């Protein structure tokens, strides 16, 4: 059975049969990979602790025609145990994993940028650099950009006219000018637009200063933008606990 080895982050797991799990991973070089981890639900399994969601691992896959089989795993960093004792962080992290999973849906299609972004996001979550909710929104906006759906916050997303503009429309791709504005477009506060733009570009000095109303508004616009591009809502997003 041919094998391949890669670094990966565990995105989610499903129970399979009596004691196995199907593990969905985002790998550095092979994109999203689904593989079977045998016997991991038994208490005697040495693999079990290493293939939990959020685990950053060095993994060896034995390839097969249907699902690959995980043959060896070494931990690089188990983000999970550092996140699970803080509920808001953990729920934000879960939404990050789900976003990464939805945006790298094509198996074995390399997604190095998404992988690096996810590692960066999880590290930031663990080190308590910023509010978990802001880290999540920054992650969503940036992973959408990597996937080719970067929102425009300055120029009009339709006609390119220089901003600032006042209307935000997920379907148009960001801020739109008054003549391009589709019906039902949101009219966010100027500070909210500034916050979202800061989250996208990584300007944390601006983002950390944002007040609660802007954070709340940015969160709902980010969620709307994400669900427009995914054609569905993230299940975990409504369960994220914001502080």
Sites of contact with other proteins (CB under 8 A):
12, 17-18, 43-44, 46-50, 52-54, 75, 78, 80-81, 84-87, 90-91, 94-95, 97-98, 235-236, 238-240
Is the CB of 86 or the CB of 216 nearer to other proteins? 86
Q: Is 122 or 200 the residue whose CB approaches other proteins more closely?
A: 122
What's the min distance (Å) between Cβ of 73 and other proteins? 9
CB of 39 to other proteins, least distance (A): 13
* Shortest separation between residue 164's beta carbon and other proteins, angstroms: 35
Name which of 50 and 165 has its Cβ closer to other proteins.
Answer: 50
Q: Is 226 exposed, middle or buried (0-12, 13-18, 19+ CB in 10 A)?
A: buried
Which is closer to other proteins, CB of 125 or CB of 180?
A: 125
Could you tell me if residue 185 is left (phi over 0), alpha (psi between -120 and 50 degrees) or otherwise beta? beta
CB of 128 to other proteins, least distance (A): 16
Residue closer to other proteins (CB basis): 64 or 81: 81
User: 108 or 235: whose CB is closer to other proteins?
Assistant: 235
Q: Other CB atoms closer than 10 Å to residue 8's CB: what's the count?
A: 28
Q: Which is nearer to other proteins, 83 or 221 (CB)?
A: 83
Instruction: Name the burial class of residue 18, with classes exposed (0-12), middle (13-18) and buried (19+) by CB atoms within 10 angstroms of its CB.
Output: exposed
Are the CB atoms for 167 and 181 separated by under 8 Å?
yes
Tell me the C-alpha distance between 175 and 187, whole Å: 9
Which positions ≥6 away from 1 have C-beta within 8 Å? 62, 63, 64, 69
- Nearest distance, CB of residue 237 and other proteins, angstroms: 8
Burial of 202 (0-12, 13-18, 19+ CB in 10 A): exposed
Least CB distance to other proteins at residue 51 (A): 10
The vertex-58 CA angle with 68 and 60, nearest 5°, equals: 30
CA dist 158 and 160 (Å) reads 6
Shortest distance (Å) from residue 41 CB to other proteins: 9
């Amino acid at each position: 059975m041919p094998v391949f080895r890669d670094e990966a982050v565990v995105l989610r797991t499903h129970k399979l049969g009596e004691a196995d799990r199907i593990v969905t991973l985002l790998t550095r070089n092979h994109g999203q990979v689904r593989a079977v981890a045998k016997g991991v639900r038994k208490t005697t399994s040495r693999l079990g602790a290493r293939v939990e969601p959020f685990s950053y691992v060095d993994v060896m896959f034995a390839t097969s025609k249907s699902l690959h089989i995980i043959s060896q795993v070494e931990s690089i960093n188990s983000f999970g145990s550092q996140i699970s004792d803080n509920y808001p962080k953990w729920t934000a992290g879960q939404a990050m994993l789900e976003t990464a999973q939805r945006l790298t849906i094509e198996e074995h299609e390399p997604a190095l940028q998404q992988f690096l972004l996810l590692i960066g996001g999880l590290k930031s979550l663990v080190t308590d650099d910023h509010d978990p909710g802001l880290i999540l929104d920054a992650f969503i906006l940036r992973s959408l950009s990597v996937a080719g759906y970067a929102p425009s916050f300055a120029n009009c997303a339709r006609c390119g006219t220089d901003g600032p503009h006042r209307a935000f429309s997920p379907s148009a791709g960001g801020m739109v000018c008054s003549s391009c504005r589709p019906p039902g477009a949101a009219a966010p506060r100027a500070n909210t637009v500034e916050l979202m733009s800061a989250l996208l570009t990584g300007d944390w000095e601006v983002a950390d200063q944002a007040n609660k109303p802007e954070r709340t508004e940015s969160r709902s616009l980010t969620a709307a933008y994400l669900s427009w591009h995914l054609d569905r809502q993230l299940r975990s997003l409504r369960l994220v606990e914001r502080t």
